[in-house]
Amino acid sequence: MDSSTHPFRSVLYIPGSKERALDKARNLPADAIIFDLEDAVAPESKASARQTLADALKTGGYGKRAKIVRINALTTEWGWEDVRALKDVGADAILLPKVNSVSDVDVLADLVGSDMPIWTMMETPVSVFNAREIAAHRQVEGLVTGTNDLTKDLAARYRADRLPLMLALQSIVMAARAARIVAVDGVYNRFRDGDGLKAECEQGRDLGFDGKTLIHPAQIEITNTAFAPTNSEIEVAERQIAAYEESQASGQGIAVVDGQIVENLHVVAAKRVLAKAHAVAEMAAE
């Protein structure tokens, strides 16, 4: 699965221990679900959550939503057992937390086999320095930003403009784009603050993220809207493509639309807008 064929606007975390939430998610309009065994699950519930989650995934019913399982780090007492229990239950990817370097990914790849896509949490300062190499691993198909862990490890402050995280956010997007894989932004903790979420979604979208991780169903709609192409963007993209094709046919290399030049690279971006709009429409057509 990549972002040209499947949208990753809204990526909802669900604690693997919460049966009601696992059931509810079968009808939520999220593009992807992260079934979490890590931070959302208390140590005393790890074993039962593993079983609850395996049962839910075997039962299925999650439709077109991408199913990503976040295991515990392989350095914990739970990580290896998580892999054993969840690697063959129909997940689309395994998400590894607290990754520092590509050798962490190699350890997981050996355990899950070469056919299982891997996503990595980018949430330590070292992972940001190693982002390019991690993203380039042959099995890594997505990077998930862990803004809470990053803020903690940086001893930074939470700020609405996320200035302390900007280097990390941009490094993660750049690594993902260089490797042509998915990049999703971190969570917005004030899950009942719709205006704050909208602003942070728009910032993440403008930075280049494909979507945002979420912690509550109330965040899905705002996020889906923020990361989808608008009608006006679609209309401009269509006109740019048409104008460029016309200019090519008449032997000119450059077209002009709404007073702005349109070159081949703008056509590539316009086609990406249309592909994303198509993927969003396909997702909605359930």
Decide whether 172 or 262 has the Cβ nearer to ligand LIB3CWND: 172
- Give the binding range for ligand LIB3CWND (CB under 6 A) out of 134-142, 185-193, 252-260, 273-281: 185-193
State the nearest-atom distance from the C-beta of 123 to Mg ion, in Å. 5
Window 66-105: contact mask with ligand LIB3CWND (x via CB under 6 A): ----------------------------------------
Q: How far is CA 117 from CA 4, 35, 82, 230, in A?
A: 16, 15, 16, 31
DSSP 65: S
- Give the binding range for ligand LIB3CWND (CB under 6 A) out of 36-44, 48-56, 156-164, 243-251: 36-44
In whole angstroms, give the CA distance from residue 32 to residue 213: 9
In whole angstroms, give the CA distance from residue 210 to residue 8: 6
CA 11 centroid distance within chain: 6
Window 138-167: contact mask with Mg ion (x via CB under 5 A): --------x--x------------------
- Give the binding range for ligand LIB3CWND (CB under 6 A) out of 44-52, 157-165, 214-222, 252-260: 214-222
Q: Does 149 bind ligand LIB3CWND (CB under 6 A)?
A: yes
Total count of residues recorded for the chain: 286
21, 54 in Cβ contact below 8 A? no
In whole angstroms, give the CA distance from residue 144 to residue 213: 8
Q: Does 143 bind ligand LIB3CWND (CB under 6 A)?
A: no
Provide the pairing of β-strand 260-262 with 93-96.
unpaired
219, 10 in Cβ contact below 8 A? yes
State the nearest-atom distance from the C-beta of 186 to Mg ion, in Å. 9
140, 115 in Cβ contact below 8 A? no
Q: Does 39 bind ligand LIB3CWND (CB under 6 A)?
A: yes
Question: Tokens 């280097």 belong to which residue?
Answer: 167
42, 7 in Cβ contact below 8 A? no
Q: Does 217 bind ligand LIB3CWND (CB under 6 A)?
A: yes
Interface with ligand LIB3CWND (CB under 6 A): 12-15, 20-21, 24-25, 36, 39-40, 121, 123, 146-149, 186-187, 191, 215-217
